[in-house]
Amino acid sequence: MRERPYYLNLLQIHLPIGGWVSILHRASGALLSLLVPALLYGLMLSLQSPEGFAQVRGFLAGGIGWFIGLLVSWAVSHHLLAGLRHLGLDIGWGEGRARARQTAWLVLGLALAVTVLIAVRVG
């Protein structure tokens, strides 16, 4: 008789830092994919006229627009850096346990640093 599959509580599983980077890589990619229509609309509106540009600029200067801009900045930087890390792993760079942890922490730190620099520069 086959055993039934058991319930996995994902909140109780202790993932290594590389697992979190991988999950965030997927999440940032999904977020960017979902935001493409809104980003293209904002680009289109900003290029149509000076009034459209002012409207987009005003939205991005406000509270929710500023937060969305930072979220997009984080998603782009994290997705790019994690993608480069995964490509490196695919060709054999950083496969060791210690190096994989270092590069995972590096990706998280650099993506956060880029986002903070953008927040300071824009804000």
Round to whole Å and give the CA distance between 68 and 58.
Answer: 13
Q: Is residue 28 part of a domain?
A: no
3-state helix, strand, coil in the chain (%, to 5): 80, 0, 20
Residues spanned by the domain of 94: 62-122
Q: What is the pTM of this model?
A: 0.85
Q: Is residue 95 part of a domain?
A: yes
Q: Is residue 13 part of a domain?
A: no
Q: Is residue 101 part of a domain?
A: yes
Q: Is residue 118 part of a domain?
A: yes
Q: Is residue 112 part of a domain?
A: yes
Q: Is residue 12 part of a domain?
A: no
* 63 and 122 Cβ atoms separated by less than 8 Å: no
pLDDT tens across the length of the chain (123 residues): 678 777 777 778 888 999 999 999 999 999 999 999 999 999 999 999 999 999 999 999 988 999 999 999 999 999 999 999 999 999 999 889 999 999 999 999 999 999 999 999 987
Q: Is residue 105 part of a domain?
A: yes
Round to whole Å and give the CA distance between 79 and 107.
Answer: 9
Report the pLDDT value the prediction gives residue 19, as an integer from 0 to 100. 93
Domains identified in the chain, total number? 1
